[in-house]
Amino acid sequence: MSNTPLKGLRVVELARILAGPWTGQTLADLGAEVIKVEAPEGDDTRRWGPPFIDREGGKVAAYFHAANRGKRSVVADFRTPEGQQKVRDLLKDADILIENFKVGGLAKYGLDYASLSAEFPALIYCSITGFGQDGPYKHRAGYDYIIQGMSGLMSITGPSEGEPHRVGVAVTDLFTGVYASTAVLAAVHARHQSGKGAHLDLSLMDCAVSVMANQAMNYLATGTPPGRTGNVHPNLVPYQVFECSDGHIIIATGNDGQYQRLCGLLGREDLMRHPDYLDNASRVANRVALMEELGAVTVGWSKADLLAACEAKGVPAGPINTMDEVFADPQVQARGMELDLGAHKGVRSPFVIDGQRCASDLPAPELGEADN
C-alpha cells in the first residue's frame, strides 16, 4: 500500500454481509489495521456464490472478496465466555469497533456499547442497523432490497410502466458503509479534543432517505411525489439515453449552451431558436415533442460517431458499458481501478491523496488466518 493516512488506527469489525464490512474495507484501504471477527462458520457471504474464487484455503464467494480486502480474520464464538473474552482482548488496544447486529443483539454477550464503554471509554463504537437504535422499526432486520423499496428509491427507478426496479447493486448498504466511515473519522477527530469515544448510530433507512437528494427535495418543494421516469432526468432536458443505429448512448446536457451545440451537431439548428425549447424549463415542459425530434436524428448515427461528435463539440455524452468494457476502458485502466492481488483481481477504492492511490494490496482473509 503506497498511501496509509490512517496508519496506527486499529479497528475491530464484528460485522457481516455488506454495510459493516464495506466500512471496514474503506478504513483498511486508507491504512487502518482491521481485524474481522467471524463466527466459527464465517461471514455468510463466504458462501454467497457462485461465482467463487479458489485459493489455497478453499473456495470463497467473489461477493465476500468484494468487501473484505485488507483485513485479518480471527474466529470467536460470542456464545461462549472464551469468545467474549477474546473480543475484549482485541479491544484493549483498539480505537474503533464496527458491528451490525440487531438492536440489543450484542447485549446478551456483554459486547454492546453500554457494557464496553465503561471498560473502554475511548472506544468509538459504530452500530449499523436497518432502522437505527430507536423508532418503531428499530428491532427489524435491515435488508438492502427492502430498504430500497421503503426509502422511495424504487418508486423513482425503472420505466414508468410495469413494476418498480431496484438498483443493480446494494446501494443502501454501500452508502451506509461510506457514511459510517465518515462518521467514524469525525469521531476520531472529536476524540483528539475530548479523549472520549462515542456511539455512532448508522441506519440503512436513514442513509437511503438522505441520498434521495434532489428527488426528495422535489417532493418537499411541491408536495407531489416524483414518479418513475426510466432513463430521463426529472429536472433536465435533454438528459437521457438516446438510440443510435447500433445501440444506445447517454447524452446529458446541463445548460442551454450544451443543448444548442447538440442541436448544431445534429443539424437541427431550428430547434435552438424554437420558442418551446429556449431554456431548460421550456424543454422540461415540452420534453416528449423535443425527444421525438432529436431521437429521429440520433437513430441515424452510429454510437462511435455520435460520441466522437459530442466530444468534439463539448456536449456531455458517454457509452453504456458492460463490465468487460468498463475494465477495458483506458480511463479506468489509467486510474488503476483493477487491482492485482496475486491470486485474483480486485477493485480499488476511489481514494487518491497527493497523487497516490489508497488501496490495500492484501486480498480478503482466509477464515481465522490471524489465529494461526
Superfamily of domain 239-321: formyl-coa transferase, domain 3 (3.30.1540.10)
- Domain map of the chain by residue range? 10-212+337-357, 239-321
* Percentage above 90 pLDDT, the chain: 96
Q: Is the dihedral of CA 4, 87, 83, 177 positive or negative?
A: negative
239-321 shares the fold of 10-212+337-357: no
| Distance separating the N- and C-terminal Cα atoms of the chain | 24
- Whole-Å CA distances, 362 to 3, 28, 76, 147: 14, 10, 22, 32
Mind listing the pLDDT tens digit for each residue in 80-118? 999 999 999 999 999 999 999 999 999 999 999 999 999
Structure pTM?
Answer: 0.93
Per the residue annotation, which of 173, 270, 324, 329 is the catalytic one? 173
The band of 305, judged by pLDDT with boundaries at 50, 70 and 90, is very high
Here the cell at position 368 is: 481465522
Return the CATH architecture of domain 10-212+337-357: 3-Layer(aba) Sandwich (3.40)
DSSP string, 39-78: -TT--GGGG--SSEEEETTEEEEHHHHHH-TT-EEEE--T
Predicted local confidence at residue 57, as pLDDT: 72
Q: Would you say residue 171 has pLDDT above 90? A: yes
The band of 2, judged by pLDDT with boundaries at 50, 70 and 90, is low
* Interval 165-184 mean pLDDT: 98
Mind listing the pLDDT tens digit for each residue in 230-255? 999 989 999 999 999 999 999 999 99
* Interval 279-286 mean pLDDT: 97
Predicted local confidence at residue 96, as pLDDT: 98
* Interval 159-176 mean pLDDT: 96
173 is catalytic: yes
- Pairwise CA distance, residues 272 & 261, whole Å: 9
Provide the mean pLDDT of the chain: 96
Predicted local confidence at residue 55, as pLDDT: 85
